[in-house]
Amino acid sequence: MSMKPVYIIADNMVSPIGQTAKENFDLLKAGVSGIRLHHTAFSSEPFYAALFDEHTGFADNIPQSGAYTKFEQLLMASVRDALSAARVDHTGKRTVLIVASTKGNVSLIEKGSVDTELKKRIALSTSARLVADHFHFTTAPVVISQACISGLVALITGMRLLQSGRFDHAVVAGADVITQFVLSGFRSFHAVSNLPCKPFDAGRNGITLGEAAATVVLSVEKPHRPGSIRLMSGAVTNDANHISGPSRTGEELHYAIETAVKEAGIAKSGIDFISAHGTATLYNDEMEAKAITLSGLQQVPVNSLKGYYGHTLGAAGLVETVASAHSLLSGTILPTPGFEMPGTSQPLNVNRVLQSGRYNCCLKTASGFGGCNAAVILQKDV
Amino acid sequence: MKNDPKTYITAYCSISGGKVYKDDKLIFKEDTPDETADFLLSVYKSFSIDYPKFYKMDNLSKLGFLAAELLLGGRQIAEEYGPERIGVVFSNASSSLDADLKYFETVKNIPSPALFVYTLPNIVIGEVSIRHRCKGENGFFIRDRFDTDWMQFYVQDLFDRGRVESCICGWVECLEAHYHAAVYLVESCPGEKALPFNSKHIHQIYETDNGEING
């Protein structure tokens, strides 16, 4: 099967840090984190998280009440900005919209009785259709809900759709918002850190939640501007071990990494940095350290961006892919906010400071509930 | 793509409306209409399945678990192909809303971690993967209705890329009183049925009620 090259031709991030990918990346380089202590109506105790201001509108021209929920407004703001930069005919038959989210509009059940109408309104396919209609997409949107790897599975699906020849462009967008449902659930697991999360650190004790949207526009057409990023490959695996705890060995994430490397046709020595999942739970970071070591990549600089954005769930894979693409383009490896003391049984080269250099290739990984793992390879097209 | 590896549906199972079909046979029918959970438990008991974790699962996972269990009928596909060569790809309309509603009921008192863990649709993939040691490609897609073309594309692509040699796939939908599983095993060996893996046959499995599928 011949592999058509797939390019990232536009991107966006809408987060508590900024409204565009560039704004976000500039502030990440300046060390700005979106994590704050929040007092909200849905939690009796204050908690650290990266949340939007309650009164933030995400973009002009998108109705801020009534027609669209906060989740949908967030998706639309991200898609709008990415489309304006992509300059492709997204209303034609050759473009597909792909949406990734874990919980979408689940907040709608928090308000009381849930009737048949509301059940339809909550469905992720309803949100995807509203977003598609808003921007006049004419092809049926694809929706992925696969825990914390949703964003990466969406990217991989987009790549596969383009390589199959079904479409020429894929607008891949992911978003999640933090509500009582999500916060209470992670708290019930004792998985929420009392302080801003500390990925890979010896003192890590859980995640910090975050809300964001990110969009990547993939195309089979090579951008005219110099210095574009190719999505080289992607792979998904399952631990087949436990539904809420990661693999004890890391073998299955390792297998995803090996498969992605093989599909990309690159040498592992060519990987310049790894953008890990790095949620800062004891077990996730330990599993990732084992998987990276099994892959022989323990010397490669690795970062987690959860100290900037918190864990943005279904958006995380896309948020971190966008940041990694900008890292490659600008010759910068971002640090890992929260990391101080090595804290995994297999030592990793956790990146602590902003590094500059010539970087061509990045491995992005993610893992999630249900035992799922994903890996993608990004490479600068030279 | 002309060089696609040939793929076949080698077994199928559907569960809906109080009936369970395996391939072209009705293998279980409830006597009187039951609550979803009670019906699923009756199916579990009637086939003498011994898997205590079943009792902890939410209804969506129970439904997918039972469908996969009856689909494979004791076949050890992980032994045959190797765990990494087996994929699981599911799709539904309501995501995990059934579990979401049940979990959120507990938030008023003490939020239940045992229910929260099921508030993701792909947990059923995890449960099926644990049971049958499937470690290969997996994916969960939300569609407003059963979509044969999507499944056919996504799963065939996994075969074309050489990622899987066997894939458990299909529709697994459960919301309160409504449940419908239509799952099938896709392999590159034709098996006895030699039913080509295409949209027409996927659709027939979804529509199974008289149980007759002719290649």
pLDDT (tens digit per residue) in A210-268: 999 999 999 999 988 777 999 999 999 999 999 999 999 999 999 999 999 999 999 99
**Which pLDDT score is estimated for A63?**
62
Distance CA A379, CA B209 (A): 50
The SS3 assignment for A115 reads coil
For range A6-16, the mean pLDDT: 97
Per DSSP, the three-state class of A135 is coil
Q: Indicate yes or no: CB of B135 within 8 angstroms of CB of A236.
A: no
Tokens 């490609």 map to which residue? B137
Query: Which residue intervals of chain B are DSSP H helices?
Result: 36-46, 59-72, 77-81, 97-107, 113-116, 123-132, 148-160, 199-206
User: Could you state, in order of their start, the residue ranges of all structural domains in chain A?
Assistant: 7-219, 228-381
Flag whether residue A139 sits within 8 Å of chain B, measured between CB atoms: no
DSSP state of A60: T
- pLDDT given for residue B211 in this prediction: 44
- CB atoms under 10 Å from CB of B192, counted, come to 8
Count the domains in chain B: 1
| pLDDT at A30 (0 to 100) | 98
Give B37's DSSP letter.
H
- Looking at chain B, which residue has its C-alpha nearest residue A141? B143
CB A218 within 8 Å of CB A162:
yes
Q: Which two tokens stand for residue B84?
A: 């990494």
Task: Considering only the beta carbons, identify the residue of A124, A237, A371 that sits closest to B136.
Answer: A237
pLDDT < 70: residue spans in chain B: 1-4, 209-215
B122 to A252: CB separation less than 8 angstroms, yes or no: no
Pair A211, A309: CB distance under 8 Å: no
Q: Which residue of B has its CA nearest to A103?
A: B120
Q: What is the CA radius of gyration of chain A?
A: 19
In whole angstroms, give the CA distance from residue B128 to residue B215.
28
CA distance B122 to chain A (A): 5
One-letter amino acid identity for A324?
S
pLDDT recorded at residue B212: 46
**A33-80 pLDDT per residue, tens:** 999 999 999 899 999 999 998 777 676 666 655 789 999 999 999 999
In angstroms, the CA A249 to CA A239 distance is 9
Are A125 and B157 inside 8 Å of each other by CB? Answer: no
Give the pLDDT of residue B1: 43
Chain A residues close to B113, C-beta within 8 Å = 185, 188-189
The architecture of the domain spanning A7-219 is 3-Layer(aba) Sandwich (3.40)
Please write down the HEC assignment for all residues of B184-206: EEEECCCCCCCEECCHHHHHHHH
| Chain A touched by B161 (CB under 8 Å) | yes
Contact of A41 with chain B, judged by CB distance below 8 Å, is answered with no
Residue A84 in contact with partner chain B when CB distance is under 8 A:
no
CATH number of domain containing B149: 3.40.47.10
Give the largest Cα separation in chain B, rounded. 58
Q: Residue A1: which of B127, B129, B161 has the nearest Cβ? A: B161
The interface pTM score, or ipTM, of the predicted complex is 0.97
CB contact under 8 A, A1 and B139: no
User: A301 forms bridges with which residues in the sheet?
Assistant: A349
Taking CB atoms and an 8 Å cutoff, what residues of chain B touch A239?
126, 129, 135
A-B Cβ pairs (cutoff 8 Å, strict) = 159
Query: Does the A228-381 domain belong in CATH 3.40.47.10?
Result: yes
Determine the pLDDT at residue A66. 72
C-alpha–C-alpha distance, residues A184 and A187, integer Å: 5
Average pLDDT over residues A346-375: 98
- Cβ(A306)–Cβ(A199) below 8 Å: yes
Whether residue B89 lies inside any domain: the answer is: yes
Element (H, E) at A71: helix A70-86
Tell me the pLDDT band of A112, cut-offs 50, 70 and 90: confident
CA distance A154 to A100: 6
Whether residue B24 is contained in a domain is answered as yes
Question: In terms of residue numbers, what domain contains B128?
Answer: 8-206
List of chain A residues whose C-beta atoms are within 8 Å of the C-beta of residue B130: 240-243, 371
Contact B120 A187 (CB under 8 A): no
CA distances from B201 to B3, B17, B21 (A): 21, 21, 15
CA distance A323 to A308: 11
Q: What is the gyration radius of the CA atoms in chain B, in angstroms? A: 17
The arithmetic mean of pLDDT across residues A272-300, rounded, is 98
Residue A113 confidence (pLDDT): 87
A1 band by pLDDT with thresholds 50, 70 and 90: low
Q: Which residues in chain A have Cβ-Cβ distances shorter than 8 Å to B1?
A: 1, 164-165
Query: Searching chain B, which residue's CA lies closest to the CA of residue A43?
Result: B107
Paired tokens of B198: 């295409």
Residues in chain A with CB shorter than 8 Å from the CB of B116 are: 184-186, 188-189
| CA–centroid distance for A24 within its chain | 14
Residue in B with minimal Cα distance to A115: B101
B26: contact with A, CB 8 A cutoff: no
CA distances from B133 to A139, A295, B70, B125 (A): 36, 22, 16, 11
User: Do A102 and A148 meet the contact criterion of CB atoms below 8 Å apart?
Assistant: yes
CB contact under 8 A, B125 and A372: yes
pTM of the full predicted structure?
0.97
